[in-house]
Amino acid sequence: TWVADLKQQLYFGRNKLILKLQGQQQQASTRETGDRQRKTLAAVAGWKYYSPSEKSFLEVFLRQEMVDGEAVPLTGSAGINWQVADNAVTTFRFSRSYNIPTFNDLYWQDGIAKGNPDLKPEKGYGFEAGLRLSDEAFYVDLRLHSTTVANRILWVQFGGSWQPMNLDEVWSRGLSMKVGFDKSHQAWQYKNSFTVNFNRSSELGNYSAGKTEQLIYTPVITANYTIVAERGRNKAILQWNHTSRIYTTRYNNRKYSLDPFSIVNLHLVRHWDLGSTPLSTSFSANNLLNKNYEVIDSRPMPGRNFRVTVAVGL
């Protein structure tokens, strides 16, 4: 695989023009599918218009992609960030997506998983609305989202093997909230943030029939709390992550679901100078409470584990 990316930004008064050109070539070879190759070229054009205060803006992005010389449907997004008060900003955004299957989706081959060369591209529309309230040391960020995707690609288990398939139409909708505040005490700086996401993802066919089964391996609730304490060249980061029940069958049979779990991780970082050479050392204790949990059925995740790293700047 090779990737090339060019970007240019131009300014005209309160207008900003963004131009991108992206190229990619991929190759794969398996006994079942033989040699495969894909060349992708994408052109992106974006426009932003800023208010006189530069705290509000309107933006439009368009993306045209060519895959092996053939154009795919035009995609893009349009949105507005509007400052309604000194400490309040609202966001509205619409988008259209078109995603061709990845090479792994199409041609992956190993002992436990197999690609599907017959996959169709995903096509979708999305909407997002948000509100951010903030002052010098505190902020609250609320976001609502709704996305409908036709031919949604999902990896499912058939017997002992995993393979991707297309779902007719999937509706994902939800709410996210992030709260953060900063505090200083003597020489210490503290940063706290709490994030929680509520997400329902279900097949529209099932929903219209009065069923709202959650997509497999898609938890309804995820949450994270992070506190960072920093003083001079020393930093400590404590993280708590929570994941709600995960269903592993399309009919949400609780018997075959994965239990909710919460994980705590600790990271300690120290920056040094060896003469004129910067050096940093870090120590990580992951799954500090040694919880037993799985994110994929029958594949236990590591218990308490440690990592030490040393990085030298050149």
pLDDT (tens digit per residue) in 114-146: 999 999 999 999 999 999 999 989 999 999 999
Residue 150 reports pLDDT greater than 90? yes
- The domain limits of the chain are 186-196+219-314
Q: In terms of DSSP H, where are the helices of the chain?
A: 103-107, 204-208
Distances (CA, A) of 179 to 68, 134, 137, 196, 253: 45, 10, 11, 9, 34
Average pLDDT across the chain, whole number: 93
* Centroid of chain to Cα 5: 21
Q: How many CB atoms are located within 10 Å of the residue 314 CB?
A: 4
| Phi/psi of residue 105, nearest 5 degrees | -60, -40
Tell me, what's the pLDDT at 28? Answer: 80
Average pLDDT over residues 16-41: 88
How is residue 72 written in tokens? 């795919």
Q: Which residue has the tokens 């894909």?
A: 38
Q: Which residue has the tokens 């991108």?
A: 20
How is residue 128 written in tokens? 């997002």
How is residue 126 written in tokens? 């999305």
Q: How far apart are CA 18 and CA 79, in angstroms?
A: 15
- As a whole-number percent, the residues of the chain with pLDDT over 70 amount to 97
* Band of pLDDT at residue 200, cut at 50, 70 and 90: very high
| Phi/psi of residue 204, nearest 5 degrees | -60, -35
Average pLDDT over residues 267-294: 95
DSSP state of 8: E
Residue 239 reports pLDDT greater than 70? yes
Q: How many CB atoms are located within 10 Å of the residue 234 CB?
A: 12
Sign of the torsion angle spanned by Cα atoms 116, 117, 118, 119: positive
Q: Which of 165-179, 208-222, 280-294 is predicted with the least confidence, judged by mean pLDDT?
A: 208-222
Q: How far apart are CA 33 and CA 111, in angstroms?
A: 16
Comparing C-alpha atoms, which of 47, 29, 49, 46 is closest to residue 37? 29
Tell me, what's the pLDDT at 212? Answer: 67
How is residue 275 written in tokens? 């003469």
| Phi/psi of residue 278, nearest 5 degrees | -75, 140
Query: Dmax over Cα atoms in the chain, in whole Å?
Result: 69
Tell me, what's the pLDDT at 211? Answer: 58
What residues are paired with 201 via a beta bridge?
172
Residue 88 reports pLDDT greater than 80? yes
Comparing C-alpha atoms, which of 110, 130, 99 is closest to residue 32? 110
pTM for this prediction: 0.88
Average pLDDT over residues 6-23: 96
Comparing C-alpha atoms, which of 182, 224, 175, 220 is closest to residue 201? 220
Integer-rounded Cα Rg, in Å, for the chain is 23
User: For the stretch 185-213, what's the b/e string if a residue is b when 16 or more beta carbons lie within 10 angstroms of its beta carbon?
Assistant: eeeeeeeebebebebebbbbebeeeeeeb
Tell me, what's the pLDDT at 208? Answer: 45
* Band of pLDDT at residue 79, cut at 50, 70 and 90: very high
Comparing C-alpha atoms, which of 287, 289, 291 is closest to residue 307? 287
Tell me, what's the pLDDT at 278? Answer: 93
